[in-house]
Structure 1
Amino acid sequence: MKLVVLGLSLSSSWGNGHATTFRALLGAFAALGHEVLFLERTQPWYAENRDLSDPDFCRLAYYDDLAALARWREQVSAADAVMVGSYVPDGVEVGRWVQNTARGTTCFYDIDTPVTLAKLARGDYEYLSPEIIPGYDIYFSFTGGPTLARLEEEFGSPCARPLYCSVDTRRYRPLDVPTRWDLSYLGTYSPDRQPTLDRLLLEPARRRPDLRFVIAGPQYPDSLEWPANVERIAHLPPSEHPEFYAASRFTLNVTRADMIAAGWSPSVRLFEAGACATPIISDRWQGIDSIFEPGEQIVLADGAEDVLAALDASARGIGMAAREAVLAHHSAERRAEQLEQDLERIGTARSPTTGKVSQYEWS
């Protein structure tokens, strides 16, 4: 199968989770024997912070603007499937061009589904608009559950399928390194996550100066004040994530407000930490128990008291149980197999006369 992907970024993980998601998924997809071309819009902040300029699993090429996509018309037209990702610059126009150019299956991969739906509700069509959703043969969503039915019934998607993030378990695995922190957090600054981060990490740090904490990620305002026992790392490239988790006695997962509201929206950090067998403390949202079993594979916390109770208890078994769940259900290999199967099945639903997909029922 020849797959062309137009995504936000593959080359740089700076300030976004798209790159690590695409790397894991497409690396495993290529390992199944498929050919992948990734087209990335040139952006200064990614160009200056590239940590994967020459991937060994696909061809990576750049384009400067919409007009420059014409250079890739032949490849897009001849591809078995073409995927457009969320947050692609000029994504609506890119989507229209793909739908008019591609002869194979067209799909939208929404790595930000709850955010996307919130933007559509307020008329913000930054990278997706309601009128182009029916033109994609399949809508792959980072969010499962009731959202899938909404995408089909309200927005007219011929087929909406969950395609959660995943993890490369060859890179993310337990490591024998000294423990540096009692609780870590890895994530780009987000205003809607900050109150939860304050409640579940900064407040425990204030109460327990004898414990060690760390927050890694870019874009935190200079005006924020950190307790003395909270270390700051401005940016942590993916190559250093496994060692970061391995050096953490626990790690924290904090979910964006839109994703909590939608439910069934697991972050890639859950799977990365789980693959490293690092015990996870997380905020609550509907559907998390379909990913990890609370109390057995993950600790759910509402406030500082819950976090400190977990830090004072034994975490033996929780991290390894999470790893077993990741290996069984959330590895990059499993996601790539799902992508392959879904693309093959949706291809059989395409009309031989119109080339389009009518509302498709999955058995």
Structure 2
Amino acid sequence: MVVVGGGLLGVCCAYWLARRGKSVLLLEREYIAAGATGRNAGFVLPTTARSYPDAVATHGVDVARSLRRLAIDGARLLADIVADEAIAGAHRDRGSVHLALTDDQALKSRQEVALSQADGFDESWLDRRELADLIPTPLGRRIVGGRAVPGALTNSVAVVDGIGTAARRLGVTIRTGVRVGSVRATGSGVVIDTSGGPVHATAAVIATNAWLGELVPRLSGVVRALQGQVIATRPMPEVFRFGMTAPLTATGEYWHQTPDGTIILGGCRAVTTAPSDPAAQVPQPAVHEALQTVLPRLFPEIGPTPAVRGWAGAMAVTSDELPVVDEVDESVWAVGGFNGHGMSYGPIIASLLADWICTATRAPALAPLALDRFPAEERAR
């Protein structure tokens, strides 16, 4: 069978299908991790994209719990793959702290902690004093406290390269620089039209995330591209021992420090209009400049944080902030739209999708991610 897309989802799908005995060809039009996977900040967040109270209000408590557990299982599974496949230097078991900058944000964060704890999820609230004990630089006046959650930090390129290497050992063929024009069910299999000619397969998985609409037109209004942007600073003495986020702008900011002291920091999308073509992954100068002001605004004694490099990536988002996983034609599956949480959801959804393909049985955890949850007009745009 064929997997289209060489990001985390595509590579994990190929890996799990091969482990289940399938012969797999993976096609990628550029290079492995060319999209959001290789351009994110490396957070593995075992939470829903929306706040947990919002997820409960939107989807109901049973579905929200299931989605939260799916993210937790995915984060654990990613750690297991990294360990099992000996992917060196790619994964650190560090949690994250989500800062509150106003009393209202603090109240909502404490409410989220209380609801999460009541449903059995590991979270805690840190007041300003407790945060000050964990961060070896004075806190700015705006910081009220923070919500601490488990999680991990990764070198996402190293992770996907490592899983790709493991997939090759399992017999997966990976071809890069191959453009796919269409994927068509024939009744007896699937034909994938590529820049190198047609490829015939028993089944196909389209895992192109922000580019799903190109191959599945009815997904063009469901899964949309949104550009994220990130900078890397020069190496600095250790200040941040865990990942952090802060709502300085409407779209939020996030950062962590790598083992060599580099700070990877993203966000600030709200400071300018969205690019006309987010899938082009071209950094915007206004965002680049704004990102360099984030840490000095929150931690006044940290000093300037000039970027030594910056990049942009095409995130895939949906209106309800949940991914899409479904069979969109006979023997053709599509998966994408992870709303910034692909590093946690990706490995487990890829595994469950491989099970679905191999057994013709969809796991109950995937039911809330079906395409038919969207109105017909949204699917037809």
Q: TM-score, normalised by structure 2?
A: 0.31
Greater RCO structure (CA 8 Å; 6+ sep): 2
Structure (1 or 2) with the greater strand fraction: 2
TM-score by length of 1: 0.32
